[in-house]
């Protein structure tokens, strides 16, 4: 019985993830959403131009305009949108938590963004996350 519940849970999670990917790929005609909307994992982190030790960081951009992230086991969620010219990702617009990432490169298999916070300049290189359901 336990194996059946575990199997159904894993199957449901995979089905949901694949369904989400199909929806995200058809959500806008410019193709920008279809490239961004997925799970990403931080693979390179620079602070003021110097490569730093990688913190654990994952972010999922969803086609409905929401995001979910985990940094060092600390979850966060909210809403995101593109700037009018699609050059920035704006988080939690019109709130105290508003933040923006300047898109340096956005491809199917790579997202590079830069942003500033508390007088420091950051650059993140993210790759699509590999989900392991073991």
Task: Please report, for the domain that includes residue 101, its CATH number.
Answer: 2.40.128.280
Say if 134 falls within a structural domain: no
**In terms of DSSP H, where are the helices of the chain?**
2-25, 32-36
List residues bridging with 114 in a β-sheet. 102, 123
Looking at per-residue pLDDT, the higher value among 18 and 81 belongs to 81
Residue 125 class from Cβ within 10 Å (0-12 exposed, 13-18 middle, 19+ buried)?
middle
Number of domains the chain contains: 1
pLDDT on residue 31? 62
Say if 133 falls within a structural domain: no
Helix, strand, coil shares, percent, the chain, to 5: 20, 45, 35
Grouping H, G, I as helix, E, B as strand and the rest as coil, residue 4 is: helix
Q: Considering the entire predicted model, what is its pTM?
A: 0.74
Say if 27 falls within a structural domain: yes
Residue 87 reports pLDDT greater than 70: yes
Domain that holds residue 112: 2-128
Say if 84 falls within a structural domain: yes
Q: Which H or E run contains 76?
A: strand 74-82
Whole-number average pLDDT of the chain: 82
């Amino acid at each position: 019985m336990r194996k059946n519940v575990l199997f159904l849970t894993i199957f449901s999670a995979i089905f949901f993830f694949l369904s989400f990917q199909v929806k995200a790929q058809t959500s806008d005609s410019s193709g920008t959403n279809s490239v961004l909307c997925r799970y990403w994992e931080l693979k390179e982190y620079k602070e003021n131009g110097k490569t730093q030790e990688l913190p654990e960081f994952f972010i999922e951009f969803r086609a409905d305009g929401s995001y979910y992230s985990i940094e060092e086991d600390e979850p966060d969620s909210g809403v995101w949108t593109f700037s009018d010219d699609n050059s920035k990702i704006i988080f939690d617009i019109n709130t105290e938590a508003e933040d923006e990432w300047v898109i340096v490169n956005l491809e199917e298999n790579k997202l590079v963004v830069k942003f500033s916070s508390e007088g420091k300049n950051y650059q993140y290189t993210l790759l699509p996350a590999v989900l392991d359901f073991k």
